[in-house]
Structure 1
């Protein structure tokens, strides 16, 4: 990647979740490749979880650890520093810990002021802090812009028009400030989850994210997204908030900066590859639900039996459950041993998705997972659990890029029959051909390295053209 003019010092302060930290890390390496100095800030354990910085970029990328002080660790498990380390009801305490980093972050920015800082949805206090230190800030969303357009009620920006969304049922459909046709919206069980909020049922403590304040105070917006995916939403966001929007592209695997790949000769990969090599091209369902999601027993059972009922070959990267009582149905692995693999260890996901035998990616719709699946032109079968994942599923289904598993709209349950039917539609049914065609076309766009490097260059040009005066 060619270097760009005017070397910048860019700081990054993502939310305490590896699904947020990893995209910032990948972006940091891309910026450093172009000659810019990067300071990526998180907590010690999260920094320790990051892969090795390529040796040729070590002089440009500084990974800074800000410890969580004991007074801000109330009710968090020992050593918990990320959403990976806790249960959903402990999110309020992780937010308190994140907010508790404000003082040490302030000292860091004073001692080594960056030109810009990229911040996340959870640090609504950061823009005023940055402004007081004459540091410009960018709201960087790892998910598409449609999340803000949907979830944030822009009262200050739209005045009385926003008052019409006051009831839970208003979230079942697009908000009235969306001027174009869209099927975006939540299901009744998701709306119930949203209004219940994230809370610790034992203590009653709840978490509060001031979304409007976080997004309203930035100098401009950026997203891990692109016009090919959501030009209408990016334009709407700019219109509502009267701020520039400069996406960085989707940061597909082809654009990411990696150390020497040692997986090619990895024993476990060679075993997986040997199995995949024996399957027909485009015939296999790959199933993975990220590093954090843990399925309950009912969902795990229905999913497994749906795979069995589908009759399709599959490779399932199944995360080990914290609850040891949650397990696959009795006899399941014996019955599917001739056409299915269940792997409970780490797997090289990108290599699997890139293999010609994979036809469908069965996913929870985490942003990184969606991008990886579409990068390789795979049809997505979607089973979202978080609210941003739900919106991803609605938009992708509307665009005929994926098929969402039908669920009971009151409690979110699903059946083995719906799993089997959705998988067969995506992979082999004639009616599913439109999904396969559109996924291949989107794959060509997502894997276009030059296209996405252009997004990076335009983003950096904006930073350079608005670079703050010297602080010396």
Structure 2
């Protein structure tokens, strides 16, 4: 790996992702030395999919470890069940026996409280790209060995999936989100290693104040995976052709992480979204096959903004979930209480902090 590739944002191609994740394992010795030097010692270590190496450090030090998952609990449950019930192997066997390469068979994800079907292209899994199977198996093993799981969601959004996920894991699941409601100012982002917005917020606010309430489309694809310029080109033209005013969040190194199970959650379960028509996920930096065009973007925006009673119902639900999210994060809310219980569960005499 090049010496300056210190975060996923710096990666330039899909082939660098696996070496990047494996290179993180070199942090185990300095991290263990750092934790041993802490006084008082930490009560718990919290780590995610890309840092499975922390399991060995936690075990060596005798410190409890929590697994943090950023995606929805719906997605996490699908991912876990796909591994536990051997869904990936079933899909691979079915694909090998099917002579029609253009038609992907639908498979039901077992153990879900609602019916969820996936194809080979939309099967759940954080490490589903070819060559990442060992990383996936290791991540699942480390997750199952953790003392509990922390998820960026809230009960009023995914209560049934949280309960099923907790039962499937056989260990506590703490819902602490949505975390996006915290650290939203530029100073907080910079202190966490992020970068301040390269725009004048006052200019944006002034422009928004001049728009009809509820008329502006916000477009944001996330913070990790990158989109190719041709994808951005189609998205931009599609937004323009929709005829709707929009704000588009674009990083210097534009990125996204489309999960079509996330689409299923938004569209079919929560009823707040419309599908754009993509049938397979894009890899880390996008792939060469164009999976959508400007017409798909324009159609989706039109359905969201001009879809009559259905569109109004989607927007009503979205607003309702937004209000519930704020209540969950407020003092006394479900996520606030969950964080309080999490801390109380792991603080012990001589240790009063979590290390993430």
Q: Normalising TM by the smaller chain, what interval? A: 0.7 to 0.9
Give me the TM-score of the superposition, normalised by structure 1.
0.59
Which structure has more strand as a fraction of its residues? Answer: 1
Structure 2: gaps of 5 or more residues? 95-104, 189-197, 282-288, 352-356
Q: 1:386 to 1:469 in 2, by over 3 A?
A: same
Aligned in 2, Cα 1:282/1:181: closer, same or farther, shift over 3 Å? same
Structure 2 residue corresponding to 1:413, chosen from 267, 271, 291: 291
Please name the residue that 1:33 is paired with. none
Residue-by-residue CA offset, 1:244-284 (whole Å, 9 max, x unaligned) = 1121232342x5486879xxxx9823333333222222112
2:109 is the alignment partner of 1:175 = yes
CA contact (8 A) 1:84 1:292 kept: yes
SS of the aligned residue for 2:135 comes to coil
For 1:300 and 1:230, the matched residues in 2 are separated by 31
Contact 1:122–1:214 (Cα < 8 Å) also in 2: no
Structure 1 residue 299: deviation in Å?
2.2
Q: Which residue of 2 aligns with 1:208?
A: 135
Find the partner of 1:424 among 302, 318, 340.
Answer: 302
CA–CA distance in structure 2, aligned partners of residues 469 and 453 of structure 1 = 27
Q: For 1:186-229, what per-residue CA distance to the aligned partner results, in whole angstroms no more than 9, with x for missing partners?
A: 56367899654367xxxxxx872412212111111111111112
Give the deviation of 1:308 after TM superposition.
Answer: 2.6
Counterpart of 2:286?
A: none
SS at match of 1:246: strand
Task: Label 1:252 to 1:216 Cα distance change in 2 as closer, same or farther (>3 A).
Answer: same
1:296 paired residue number:
228
Secondary structure of 2:55's match? Answer: helix
1:401/1:278 Cα in 2 relative to 1: closer, same or farther (>3 Å)?
A: same
Q: What is the CA distance between 1:166 and its match in structure 2? A: 1.2
Residues 16-46 of structure 1 deviation map (CA, whole Å, 9 limit, x = unaligned): xxxxxxxxxxxxxxxxxxxxxxxxxxxxxxx
Alpha-carbon distance between aligned partners in 2 of 1:235 and 1:127, rounded to the nearest angstrom: 25
> What's the CA shift for 1:102?
0.8
Contact 1:172/1:191 (8 A) holds in 2: no
Q: Is 1:82 matched with 2:16?
A: no
SS at match of 1:143: coil
Indicate the residue corresponding to 1:97 in structure 2: 23
Give the secondary structure class of the aligned counterpart of 1:312. Answer: coil
Aligned match of 1:455:
335
Which has the higher mean CA deviation after the structures are superposed, 431-440 or 181-190?
Answer: 181-190
1-structure distance, mates of 2:172, 2:199: 48
Instruction: Kindly report which structure 2 residues correspond to 1:398-409, keeping only aligned pairs within 5 A, or say none.
Output: 398=268, 399-407=270-278
Unaligned runs of at least 5 residues, structure 1: 1-75, 200-205, 323-363, 365-384
For 1:219 and 1:305, the matched residues in 2 are separated by: 47
Instruction: Give the equivalent residue in structure 2 for 1:131.
Output: 59
TM-aligned CA deviation for residue 408 of structure 1: 5.4
Q: Are positions 1:166 and 2:89 aligned together?
A: yes
The CA deviation at 1:116 is 1.0
Instruction: Pick closer, same or farther for the CA change 1:302–1:401 going to 2, 3 Å.
Output: same
CA distance in 1, matches of 2:44, 2:305: 45
Higher normalized contact order (CA 8 Å, seq sep 6+, divided by chain length): 2
C-alpha RMSD of the superposition: 3.4
Q: Distance in 2 between matches of 1:293 and 1:212?
A: 21
Residues 309-366 of structure 1 deviation map (CA, whole Å, 9 limit, x = unaligned)? 21222233344469xxxxxxxxxxxxxxxxxxxxxxxxxxxxxxxxxxxxxxxxx8xx
Q: In structure 1, what is the Cα distance between the partners aligned to 2:25 and 2:305?
A: 46
Contact 2:47 2:66 in 1 (8 A): yes
Instruction: Give me the TM-score of the superposition, normalised by structure 2.
Output: 0.76
Determine helix, strand or coil for the equivalent of 1:79: coil
The answer for the alignment partner of 1:305 in structure 2 is 237
The equivalent of 1:185 in structure 2 is 118
Shift of 1:99: 0.7
Partner of 1:52: none
SS in 2 for 1:102: helix
Q: 1:147 to 1:211 in 2, by over 3 A?
A: farther
When residues 437 and 453 of structure 1 are mapped into structure 2, their CA distance, relative to the original with a 3 A threshold, is closer
Mark the CA change 1:466 to 1:278 in structure 2 (over 3 Å): closer, same or farther.
Answer: closer
Query: Matched residue of 1:315: which SS?
Result: strand
Where in structure 2 are the equivalents of 1:314-353 lying within 5 Å?
314-320=246-252
